[in-house]
Amino acid sequence: MRKRMRTTAVTAVAAALSAALAAPAVAAGPGGDRTGDTGDHRATARAVRAAVGDGVPGVTLRAEDRRGVWTATAGVGNLRTERPRSPHDRYRVGSITKTFVATVLLQLEAEGRLSLDDTVDSWLPGLVSGNGHDGTRITLRQLLNHTSGIYNYTADEDFGRTYFLEEGFFEHRYDTLAPEELVRVAMSHEPDFAPGAGWNYSNTNYVLAGLVIEKSTGRPYGEEIRRRVIAPLHLTGTSVPGTRTGVPGPSSRAYGKLTEDGSGPVHDVTRLNPSMASSAGEMISDSKDLNRFYRALLTGRLLPGEQLEEMTDTVAVNDRNGYGLGLMSTELSCGVTVWGHGGGIHGSTSDAVTTRDGRHSVAFNFNGDWAGDPGAVIEAEYCGD
């Protein structure tokens, strides 16, 4: 859901990226390290262990390619009991939710039920207004590729203190927030820029996208994701929790520092009401499901060719990254380009990427939000030593 909570909790909730490959996992060694250290995955194995060495409590990873499946775990899933992480762990996936939301909107476009060139105001009259925001000038496409200019509600300092820092989090972790409340937080600020005049990651865009799905279909966005994506792909570890505060098993605990600079003691932040993330980042999944989802998406199982082309038409973020419609592309140091998304939410940093042909996928999770480098894991898996 956030850019990097481990960098600063107040500006939390945005995007990330990652990747990997395939073969059987190696048995646990001393200290609970279950990372396979064989074949083409040796660099990935080292990167996973390095994340734990950097302070991440535990890592779970699954990589798949034409040669098969390779799973790895390192560190622990529970700091109190020292129980290791499992390859089957479910975890909060944060902003990976955005790819699911964008997929549903593109399906609705393919069915003729809406157009991505529709304005936000045509679907949500009067909701995007105030302090220079004007929903009559913003299209659904601009929501999905973050060119709307709409302020990111999770960057609001009061919201950050209330939901991401220690004192506020423990008082408000179980609050239920309506998506319209989240939008109102954003509307209390000026836009980042005029619609279409720039690019800036905003969780508010996807809260609005979820509301458009509901308005278009008459059903909550989570129900549409279940009907259109989770059920057809048999994603048995994936859910849209709504206001459910726990993570279904099998799962590990999630840990956070709840400070702006990532210092201080570690707290168990597993239980929370994910309505604070809404359709920008509330979903739960596991690595097997995420690989299956992105592989199906990029190979045309979920979208017609025209919509998949729209989704992969990217806006340049920097020299190596582009953002499409809920989907990010990253050119790695060895020239390989991967597609996917990443996300963070309290105590959980997740990434899932695949090659454009869907033949090489990886998904993984850190059960801590203040340490570790997901990009290093991706580089190691696709580029090796």
User: Encoding tokens for residue 343?
Assistant: 């996300």
Residue 271: closest CA among 289, 255, 295, 288: 255
Cα–Cα distance for residue pair 15/316, rounded to 1 Å: 15
Which of 95, 148, 278, 285 is catalytic? The answer is 95
User: Encoding tokens for residue 106?
Assistant: 């593109």
Cβ–Cβ < 8 Å for 6, 158: no
Cβ–Cβ < 8 Å for 123, 214: no
Cα–Cα distance for residue pair 204/182, rounded to 1 Å: 7
Q: How many residues does the chain have?
A: 385
Q: What does DSSP say about strands 321-323 and 315-316: parallel, antiparallel, or unpaired?
A: antiparallel
Cα–Cα distance for residue pair 310/162, rounded to 1 Å: 37
Using CB atoms within 10 Å of the CB of residue 319, give its burial: 0 to 12 exposed, 13 to 18 middle, 19+ buried.
Answer: exposed
Q: What is the DSSP string of 6-56?
A: TT-STT-----------SPPPPP-GGG------GGGHHHHHHHHHHHHTT-
Q: Is 129 a catalytic residue?
A: no
Cα 318 to chain centroid distance, Å, stands at: 19
Q: What are the angstrom distances between the C-alpha of 300 and each of 303, 306, 352? A: 5, 10, 18
Cβ–Cβ < 8 Å for 252, 85: yes
Cβ–Cβ < 8 Å for 274, 99: no
User: Encoding tokens for residue 260?
Assistant: 């702006």
For the chain, the 3-state helix, strand and coil shares in percent, each to the nearest 5, are: 35, 20, 50
**Catalytic positions, written as ranges:** 95
